């Protein structure tokens, strides 16, 4: 009798755990698109020989890592910058990953999650962008994110 009861308790516990995981926030396509656009609009404008590529101002070594992660093959900086659609898809892939991490780490606080990802984008860290240039960048991204959300037609939230 206790074996059956124990199995029921374990079963109930697993069901509760799975239900809780299913209720965790997921990043919508609209949120990803808004963040990608906010980062593009907020990117510091640098000269042609700055060492950064595309509208998002990405470093060559980052392009290699991100394209390998998202496409399962490396692209050169030239390939990345010469195809804006592919560049946007790769940035979207990375932003989905990072927003998802932050939405889980900071549940029910979209603003904090967006700020953390903006900080990560600039510094590689989720925190520490409280002053100076990085704080200004995070504020700019957050403002552009809100504008992008408002300009995106309302669609049902997609979970992937």
Q: What is the model's pLDDT at position 73? A: 94
Q: What is the model's pLDDT at position 154? A: 53
- Within a domain: 16: no
Task: Report the predicted TM-score, pTM, of the whole model to 2 decimal places.
Answer: 0.77
Q: What is the model's pLDDT at position 55? A: 75
- Within a domain: 26: yes
C-alpha 87/C-alpha 63 separation (Å) is: 9
C-alpha 123/C-alpha 30 separation (Å) is: 24
The tally of domains found in the chain comes to 1
- Within a domain: 101: yes
- Within a domain: 158: no
Helix (H, G, I), strand (E, B) or coil at 75: coil
Q: Cβ distance 114 to 37 under 8 Å?
A: no
- Within a domain: 38: yes
Q: What is the model's pLDDT at position 47? A: 57
Residues of the chain with pLDDT under 70: 1-25, 46-52, 152-160
- Within a domain: 156: no
Q: Cβ distance 52 to 59 under 8 Å?
A: yes
- Within a domain: 143: yes
Q: What is the model's pLDDT at position 67? A: 94
Q: What is the model's pLDDT at position 8? A: 46
Q: What is the model's pLDDT at position 50? A: 64
Per the structure, the complete domain to which residue 66 belongs is given by: 22-151
Q: What is the model's pLDDT at position 160? A: 38
Q: What is the model's pLDDT at position 159? A: 41
- Within a domain: 111: yes
Q: What is the model's pLDDT at position 126? A: 97
Q: Cβ distance 38 to 145 under 8 Å?
A: yes
Q: Residue 76 to residues 44, 52, 58, 83, 142: CA-CA distances in angstroms? A: 22, 12, 12, 11, 30
Q: What is the model's pLDDT at position 49? A: 57
């Amino acid at each position: 009798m206790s074996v059956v009861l124990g199995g029921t308790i374990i079963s109930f516990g697993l069901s509760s755990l799975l239900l809780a995981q299913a209720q965790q926030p997921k990043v919508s396509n609209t949120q990803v698109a808004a963040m990608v656009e906010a980062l593009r609009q907020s990117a510091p404008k640098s000269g042609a020989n700055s060492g950064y590529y595309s509208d998002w101002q990405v470093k060559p070594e980052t392009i290699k890592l991100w394209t390998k992660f998202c496409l399962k093959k490396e692209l050169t900086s030239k390939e990345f910058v010469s195809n804006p659609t592919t560049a946007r898809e790769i940035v979207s892939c990375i932003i989905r990953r990072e927003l998802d991490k932050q939405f889980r780490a900071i549940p029910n606080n979209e603003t904090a999650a967006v700020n953390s990802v903006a900080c990560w984008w600039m510094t590689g860290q989720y925190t520490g962008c409280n002053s100076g240039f990085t704080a200004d960048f995070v504020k700019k991204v957050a403002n552009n994110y809100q504008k992008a959300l408002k300009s995106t037609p309302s669609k049902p939230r997609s979970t992937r």
